Amino acid sequence: MFEQLTLAVSLRDDARFANFFAANNQHIIHALRQQLATDGEPFIYLWGAPGVGCSHLLQAACHYADGLGFQSIYLPLDEMVEYGPEILEGMDNLPLVAIDQLQAVSGDPAWEEGLFHLFNRLRSKNNKLLIAADNAPSGLNIQLPDFSSRLNWGVTYQVQALDDEGKVQALLLRAHRRGLNLSEEVARFILRRGSRNNGELFQLLDDLDRVSLAEQRKLTIPFIKTQLGW
């Protein structure tokens, strides 16, 4: 089952702490880096609006754990619902379990009970749990009181959205990490004309990178206008 899940939910290679522009979220990255330390938090809960980077941070935490020699698994529940909560069996043996999109199963009795028992098993073995959702624990439709109580045991952080200047800097950082020559002028143009969602912005940058590489062209404003019809 672990092998099947690993194939189904492989981590994005570029989902790393190094290419996440932290801005006001630096304390969250520090907490995630420290989680696997002896005195690290056993349970961390992240929440934020779509596109602020919760999924990136969970995958980055798994990459970081792997780099330290700790086995981990990333579970985006919106993609895992069809497997049923049976997939959680045995995961308590992993040093880090990162569960994303908790809201996808909130209100589902079987999933809530399965996650409740996983929480308890991880805690009994001193392994770590990292959960992300689009709302704080109190804002989710959790029906199992014991599970709702457990969600409030950990440290909760709201991932703050970037302002426009932060998004420009995030684009520049992402481009730099990809080895892409992106000027600040072009980054600001992309932000003005593109999506306000970070994930969509970064996907657009990835797409432009591939096109510019294929055509051996620099990322200039005229080139982007031509490619995107802007």
pLDDT digit string, tens, across residues 156-209: 999 999 999 999 999 999 999 888 889 999 999 999 998 888 888 899 998 998
Q: What per-residue confidence (pLDDT) applies to 5?
A: 58
Over 70: is that where the pLDDT of 4 sits?
Answer: no
Indicate if 139 and 196 belong to the same structural domain: no
Q: What is the CATH number of the domain that holds 220?
A: 1.10.8.60
Provide the residue type at 214 as one letter.
Answer: A
Give pLDDT, residue 1. Answer: 53
**Pair (218, 113) in one structural domain:** no
Domain end (from 118, 142, 158):
158
Mean pLDDT (the chain) is 92
- Check if the beta carbon of residue 12 is closer than 8 Å to that of residue 59: yes
pTM for this prediction: 0.89
147 shares its domain with 168: no
Q: Quick one: 31 and 121 in the same domain?
A: yes
Record the tokens describing residue 32, joined without a space: 């995630």
Residues 152 and 177 in one domain: no
Contact present, 1 and 9 (Cβ < 8 Å): no
What span, in angstroms and rounded, lies between the C-alpha atoms of 76 and 137? 17
Does position 93 have pLDDT exceeding 90, yes or no? yes
Q: Which of 98, 126, 158 is the last residue of a domain?
A: 158
Q: pLDDT band at 8, cuts 50/70/90? A: low
User: Rg for the chain (alpha carbons), in Å?
Assistant: 19
Band the pLDDT of 19: cuts 50, 70, 90.
Answer: very high
Question: Which of 112, 129, 158 finishes a domain?
Answer: 158
Q: What is the pLDDT of residue 177?
A: 87
Total domains in the chain come to 2
Query: Do 7 and 108 fall into the same domain?
Result: yes
Rounded to an integer, what distance in angstroms lies between the CA atom of residue 139 and that of residue 130? 18
Token pair recorded at residue 128? 């770590």
More confident residue, 95 or 179: 95
The predicted pLDDT at position 85 comes to 94
Residue 139: which domain range? 2-158
Residue 145 has pLDDT above 60, yes or no: yes
179 torsion bin: left (phi>0), alpha (psi -120 to 50), beta (else): left
